[in-house]
Amino acid sequence: MRKVIIPTDFSDNAYNAVRYAVSLFKEVDCTFYLVHTYTPAIYQSDYMLDSPGQFGLATLLQEQALERLKELRTKLENEFKNPRHQFVPHAAFNLLVDELRDMVEKENADLIIMGTKGATGAKEILLGTHAVHVIKKTNCPIIVVPPQFEYENPKEILFPTDYEIDYGEERFAQLLAIADDHISRFEVIHVSSGYDLTDKQLRNKAKLDELLGRRAHLFHEMPSQNVVAAINNFQLKNRINLLAMVRNKHTFFERLFLEPIIKKVGFHVTVPFMVIP
């Protein structure tokens, strides 16, 4: 039984992420946790201690959130009618990141799938504050779904890497499971720095080759360029259904979101984006 957490703010983007999740695991037994967090727009510092009125407000907000989540569950059950799937509504007075971290641990969740903002008039990913915080603060694989994305089976998976990490099977379990569900092909790209791979990188590349094993996969060396540019350029020439990257603090992933230039240029990913801790 796969356990998938899906945050929702009841927006169209959030609903699109739910639809993606349900379609992705169409043939898999799944429990989907539909999660909505809320906080009053304005509340006083004595919220939790001395204000019965504020307690009443929290109860009202929770009841309203649960009602909307139940409506969402009914809508999904009527639209998809999949006996393999069950939906569990969950509303909490909490910050989204904190609640997701707690739920991942409590439910032993396999994956988080969430929608995100889109650039005005475009369909590519523009990572908002919530998505960035969830990616950086939760120890669980996450798939971010672009706005208006029309579902495609992830037959072609793009995996940029610098060969600086150990490719252990447990870390990649969810990505490999998705690949096996859909008989996917991996396109592994490495952006050249102008130097030969180190002995460590060569060993890690061999481990990745072994990990992918019988699954169709190709290794590509890209000329020296910005990692974002390499991803965008590869997508222009090759059809990709899912982008997957590892969040490792010491290499390019942190720089990908910390450099101001990235926000200016835009991360033009038009397919779902999986981040592996």
Mean pLDDT on 8-26:
94
What percentage of the chain's residues is helix, strand, coil (to nearest 5)? Answer: 40, 25, 35
- pLDDT of 168 above 60: yes
Per residue in 249-275, pLDDT (tens digit) is 655 555 555 444 333 334 566 889 898
pLDDT band, residue 159 (cuts 50/70/90): very high
- pLDDT, position 124: 53
Per residue in 185-231, pLDDT (tens digit) is 999 999 877 788 899 999 999 999 999 999 999 999 888 777 778 88
Least confident range of 52-61, 206-215, 241-250: 52-61
- pLDDT, position 235: 85
pTM, 2 dp: 0.86
Mean pLDDT on 24-30:
97
Mean pLDDT on 160-179:
92
List Cα–Cα distances, 220 to 102, 161, 191, 217, 271, in angstroms.
38, 10, 9, 10, 20
- pLDDT, position 251: 53
Amino acid identity for residue 233 in this structure: N
Least confident range of 80-89, 121-130, 141-150, 186-195: 121-130
Which domains occur in the chain, in start order?
1-151 (3.40.50.620), 152-245 (3.40.50.620)
Q: What are phi and psi for residue 232, nearest 5 degrees?
A: -65, -45
Tokens of 194: 């102008």
- pLDDT, position 265: 34
> What is the per-residue DSSP string for 193-245?
-SSPPPHHHHHHHHHHHHHHTTS-EEEEEEPS--HHHHHHHHHHHS--SEEEE
E-strand stretches of the chain: 2-7, 30-38, 85-93, 111-115, 117-118, 125-126, 142-145, 156-160, 185-191, 217-222, 242-246, 273-276
